[in-house]
Amino acid sequence: MAAVKKRPAILFTTAFGAGLATGLLHFGAPLGVVAVTLAAAILARQPLATLLMSAALLGRLSGELAWLRESNQCAARLPASRMILSARLLEPADSAGGLLTVQPVRAGCAGPVSSRWPAGHPMEAGLVADLTAQWIPRPGPGLRPSGTLVVSAVSGGVGRPRATARLRTALAASSRVLYGDRAPMVDALILGRRGAIDRALQDRFAQSGLVHLLSISGFHVGVITAWVFLVCRMIRLGRGRALALAAAASIAYVAFLGWPAPATRAAALAMLLAISRVRQRRVDTDSLLAATCLCVLLVDPWAMVDLGAWLSAAALWGATTFSRWTDRTLGREAWWRTLGSSVGATLATAPITAATLGAVAVIGIVLNFLAIPLAAVAVPGVLASLLLFPLSPGVAGSLAGGSGLALHLLELLATAGAAVPGGHVIEPAEIRSAVPWLLGLVVSLWCIGKWNTLGEALRRWGWAAVVVLWVSLLWSWSPQTANSGSGLTLHFLDVGQGDGAALRTPAGRWVVIDAGPR
């Protein structure tokens, strides 16, 4: 079996991503950057350097083309005012209203926009309605045009929905019948619709480190792919055909969802794994991850500045890196592999979530031992119940009963995890908040070095613990101000005619109360 070298694949994706980022973020004049990159590629006498410069140039051109396409999107062209327009619903609207995606029709622009649908106007996906609405622009990641279309009045509802739109409507209706009040959670798990899910429930899942279960991620696509492969093997299909059908099912599912970045990466991974297994190729894990990330960037260049895409790639890299070490030193049992994957994913994503969200849920390392098996049973059960409901309501109801129990257990697990003291860390959402977590990741990688035994890793972790202890002691002895910590701070201010108050939240934000006229 041939081994694929990993350096070119990883470096090519890195160079392409760097060039793409300069294009999306408008770093440097386009012609100047292209000229410098071309000159460097010509002057480089080594093939690898020329390849990397070419990749960076292609990335830059992809970023510029992404902005050209964006200029014709409705998010960039809709006026920030009250208007009357026609729009096609890309998702079914229920009587409660909420957030959903619509496509303006005959508005002189292309592309869908997010809308806030009013209550009392249920409508099937794929129908065209006349809307009275106001566009509220809001810059997205990388200053990409974005916003929300706030709908105040709806009339009409005509058209002939396509097959995919009818399927979306049928799945939403089946979800409401089979799961009742838990339907918003089911929509988030299977269809990626999180607009109707209870905010308190989202917070509990976030604080317990299980929020990835409420969104379409690589885990969901991987679970569905694995179950399709298992069913194919149970009906005695060959390994190659089973892998091909599983990969095709994952790609079809992700296409139905609209190619979200984390799910696209997982589908690309399934496809490349199937190809490598059928052709009997042993592919390096990091190279495979780099290739899947490149596929995502080619499908959606804006994934380069998407938080979900970064978290998905970082989580998979951390899980595979640490699980390889546990496989080698502790064994291949499921609990050791789960431990390595959970620790690796948490450490790899912690710097990102600390810098962007101001929170890290370390309790998720423990909860994943129960949450991952529950979700691995719940996700395919929910999907099967929704698909079978029009054909056999009785069988679908039985599946929904078991899947609903698994979902309820996930909710209880998230609630218990969110209540654990110290289970999640809240800090200001800024770059310096990521520094301790980044140091922890680097130290952990140093401890589990490629050839380190368990004894050597424990020795290095011991030295790291001693250093952390001394640094903590020295920090505690240093002079601190009232605002140095990460807790809630309250200040009372003399404003001349009484006392005002200033509160500093654990996230580093200030709230001023009754501070007088000045």
Sheet holding 510-513, edge to edge: 489-494, 499-504, 510-513
Structure tokens at 252: 């079809």
Among candidate residues 200, 181, 184, the one with its CA nearest the CA of residue 192 = 184
How far apart are the C-alpha atoms of 49 and 39, rounded to whole Å? 12
User: In terms of DSSP H, where are the helices of 279-392?
Assistant: 285-299, 307-329, 334-356, 364-388
CB 321 within 8 A of CB 284: no
For all residues of the chain together, what is the average pLDDT? Answer: 85
Q: What is the pLDDT of residue 6?
A: 47
- Model confidence at 343, pLDDT cuts 50, 70, 90, reads very high
CB 362 within 8 A of CB 425: yes
DSSP 235-281: TT--HHHHHHHHHHHHHHHHHHHT--HHHHHHHHHHHHHHHHHHTT-
Q: How far is CA 310 from CA 191, 392, 433, in A?
A: 21, 40, 17
Average pLDDT over residues 150-159: 90
List the single range of 31-40, 110-119, 167-176, 337-346 with lowest mean pLDDT: 31-40
- 38 pLDDT higher than 80: no
Pairing between β-strand 147-158 and β-strand 359-361 as defined by DSSP bridges:
unpaired
DSSP 118-161: PTT--B-TT-EEEEEEEEEE---GGG---EEEEEEEEEEEES--
CB 120 within 8 A of CB 202: no
- 391 pLDDT higher than 60: yes
Fold type of domain 75-161: OB fold (Dihydrolipoamide Acetyltransferase, E2P) (2.40.50)
Q: What is the pTM of this model?
A: 0.82
- 113 pLDDT higher than 90: yes
Q: What is the pLDDT of residue 395?
A: 92
How far apart are the C-alpha atoms of 190 and 382, rounded to whole Å? 8
Give the three-state DSSP class for 498: coil
How far apart are the C-alpha atoms of 459 and 344, rounded to whole Å? 19
Q: Which residues of 366-404 are buried (b: 16+ CB within 10 A; e: fewer)?
A: bbbebbbebbbbbbbbbbbbbbbbeeeeeebeebbeebb
Task: Centre a 10 Å sphere on the Cβ of residue 91 and count the other Cβ atoms it contains.
Answer: 26
pLDDT tens digits along 463-494: 988 988 888 788 767 666 666 555 677 877 77
pLDDT tens digits along 243-260: 889 889 889 888 888 888
Average pLDDT over residues 305-327: 89
pLDDT tens digits along 162-188: 998 999 899 988 998 999 888 888 888
Average pLDDT over residues 5-25: 83
Q: Which amino acid is at 512?
A: V
Quick one: how far is CA 164 from the chain centroid?
24
How far apart are the C-alpha atoms of 507 and 503, rounded to whole Å? 11
CB 89 within 8 A of CB 186: no
Q: Which amino acid is at 132?
A: T
pLDDT tens digits along 77-107: 999 889 999 999 998 988 888 888 999 998 8
- 10 pLDDT higher than 70: yes
Burial class of 269 by CB neighbour count within 10 A (0 to 12, 13 to 18, 19+): buried
Task: Centre a 10 Å sphere on the Cβ of residue 156 and count the other Cβ atoms it contains.
Answer: 12
- 51 pLDDT higher than 90: no
Q: Which amino acid is at 28?
A: G
User: Boundaries of CATH 2.40.50 in the chain?
Assistant: 75-161
pLDDT tens digits along 401-430: 999 999 999 999 999 998 998 888 888 888
For residue 87, what is the enclosing H or E element?
strand 82-89
Quick one: how far is CA 91 from the chain centroid?
20
For residue 499, what is the enclosing H or E element?
strand 499-504
Q: Which amino acid is at 510?
A: W
307-329 and 218-234 helices, crossing angle to 10° = 60
- 49 pLDDT higher than 70: yes
To 10 degrees, the CA torsion angle through 59, 61, 66, 71?
A: 160
Q: Phi and psi at residue 19, in whole multiples of 5°?
A: -65, -40
Length of the chain: 518
